[in-house]
Amino acid sequence: MIPGRELFNAGIHLHGGPAPVRQYLPRLIDLIWRREIDPGKVFDLVLPLDRAAEVYQAMDQRRAVKVLLTV
């Protein structure tokens, strides 16, 4: 967990917004039905927090959908 007060004092901003889930849903359902992916697996990539910039590249290249950043 990241303390919000520390982020605020450091001038760091966290932003969120809607995800284009409906765009990917038909393909994901197909992969689940064909047992090519396991829907029970939530995170498909785990990286330390200091490599967070790599997350955007992995998602852009469709190597990751849901990433867990660890401290």
- What does the alpha-carbon distance between residue 43 and residue 16 come to, in Å, rounded to a whole number? 18
Please list, residue by residue across 40-62, b when 16 or more beta carbons sit within 10 angstroms of its beta carbon and e when fewer do. Answer: eeeeeeebeeeeeeeeeebeeee
Its pTM stands at: 0.44
For residue 4, pLDDT over 80 is answered with: no
Q: How do residues 33-62 score in pLDDT, each as one tens digit? A: 999 988 767 788 999 999 999 999 999 999
CB 13 within 8 A of CB 37: no
